[in-house]
Amino acid sequence: MSTIAPGPRVTGLETEFGVLCAPVGTPEAVKADLPDVERAAALIFRHRPVGYRSTNLFLPNGGRLYLDIGAHPEYATAECVSVRDLVAQDQAGRAILAAMAERAATGLAQERAPVRFHLLANNTDSAGHTYGCHESYSVPRSLLDATDHPAGAGTDTTMAVLTSFLATRPVLVGSGRSLAGGPAGPSEDSRGAGDEEAAWGLSPRAPTCRP
């Protein structure tokens, strides 16, 4: 067994946000031409922090805020070495986007009835496909190539451990999403509609994957 203590772990988060523009008050008081998703996202990014001209912002805190394909905002934190810093970075991104949405709603209210922009952090699209965090693992070369270092484990051993971890993690931490009507197959149930207490899918991507 190796006695080498693990080094600091660098982590980061990237969050995708859905956008919705909804009326404030009774729907009858609002014109029918509410901004669609693309227009709503464009209005929000019109009120980006001062000093930026594009919709791809590299912020002073090391994070990145940008409008991705499909008209949805994304915020990527800076790389962090502690959970406290990571949470602070993630909350900072949400606060920046919330302030942008509030300014966009104020500007739009001057032209028509009051509206509210909703930014929804989610991991499921309108078709039911799921997506999670991007993960990268930085390891010493000796961990992958046993010939470089006597303590090296080799690629086969390392990948066996990593894949076992990735396969069992959803069960250990309860990762997943709600499914309607029991275990989901390639049907409407796989989109997670209906009673959230009907079933819980520990592998959220499996029902929507196709060969």
Cα–Cα nearest to 135, from 162, 108, 171: 162
CA 190 from chain center: how many Å?
A: 20
Cα–Cα nearest to 2, from 203, 157, 129: 157
* Residues that are catalytic: 68
CA 204 from chain center: how many Å?
A: 14
Cα–Cα nearest to 66, from 77, 54, 78: 54
Q: Residues near 51 by Cβ (< 8 Å), separated by ≥ 6?
A: none
Q: Residues near 130 by Cβ (< 8 Å), separated by ≥ 6?
A: 123, 124, 177, 204, 205, 208
Q: Residues near 59 by Cβ (< 8 Å), separated by ≥ 6?
A: 49, 65, 96
